[in-house]
Amino acid sequence: MAKKKSKPFRINSGVAADPNPIDAPEAKSDSDNKIGVNLRYFQRRQECFSDWVKDDLKAFSNWVGKMSSRTEGQITANTGTCHAHQGKTKQLPADVSPDVKMYNLDVGAKARVHGFFLGSHFYLVWLDRNHAILKG
């Protein structure tokens, strides 16, 4: 009996399959929830994981583990590794309000990620190994 071929699974990063807009008033987290990293609004056209070297990827894995053991308040209180965006931010994904507070977080010694908190999630929007996101 011949096996049926299944359709290939494809992910179209940066394009939401169903609209689910994020507005700033909704972007308040429950202070007791530990944070998970979510890639729903990830924009790979800025930078992709394939641009990162092995040490950066290892640091990212460690960073995800650290995020899952902390709350939003604990993360944002550490101003040595978490910085709120000041002034102009690059083009946000279509479903994200410009009123959402964006942060850049240090990942290891060199790399950064940019995104926002909503509920018990940090929505990672951009990777920033070369610190280019907030440059003029």
Buried b / exposed e over 98-117, threshold 16 CB at 10 Å, is eebebbbbbbbeebbbbbbb
Would 18 be classed as within a structural domain?
no
Other Cβ atoms closer than 10 A to 15: 10
30/59: higher pLDDT: 59
Q: Are 121 and 38 in contact (CB under 8 A)?
A: yes
Please check whether residue 62 is in contact with residue 113, taking contact to mean a CB–CB distance below 8 angstroms. Answer: no
Identify the domain containing residue 50 by its residue range. 25-127
Domain-located, residue 136: no
Query: pLDDT-derived band of residue 132, with 50, 70 and 90 as boundaries?
Result: confident
Among 109, 115, 5, 135, smallest CA distance to 67 is for 115
Per residue in 103-127, pLDDT (tens digit) is 999 998 889 999 999 999 999 999 9
In total, how many domains does the chain have?
Answer: 1
pTM of the model: 0.74
Is residue 133 a part of any domain in this protein?
Answer: no
Query: Each residue of 34-93: pLDDT tens digit?
Result: 999 999 999 888 888 998 999 999 999 999 999 999 999 999 998 888 988 887 667 788
